[in-house]
Amino acid sequence: MTGSETARRDALLARRLDLVAGVSTLTAEALRLNQKRAGIEMDVLRLELEIGRSGASEQLVR
């Protein structure tokens, strides 16, 4: 392998590593947002259940 081939391979490997790191970052962000969405859904379900049980009380509206 010549010096230029080695340099090109190293550049491609560095690029691949950067891309993998980017995908990993985006995956972590997607998981974080999905957990946040699930928490919001749980809050909505809890509120719907409470409204169904006792109506919209003044405290619940706040």
Q: How far apart are CA 43 and CA 52, in angstroms?
A: 14
Residues 50, 60: contact at Cβ < 8 Å?
A: yes
Residue 62 has what pLDDT?
Answer: 60
Domain regions of the chain by residue span: 3-61
**How high is the pLDDT of residue 1?**
78
**Tokens encoding 30:** 């997607």
- What was the pLDDT predicted at 59? 67
**One digit per residue, pLDDT tens: the chain, 62 residues?**
798 999 999 999 999 999 999 999 999 999 999 999 999 999 999 989 988 888 767 666 66
CA distances from 4 to 12, 15, 16, 17 (A): 12, 16, 18, 20
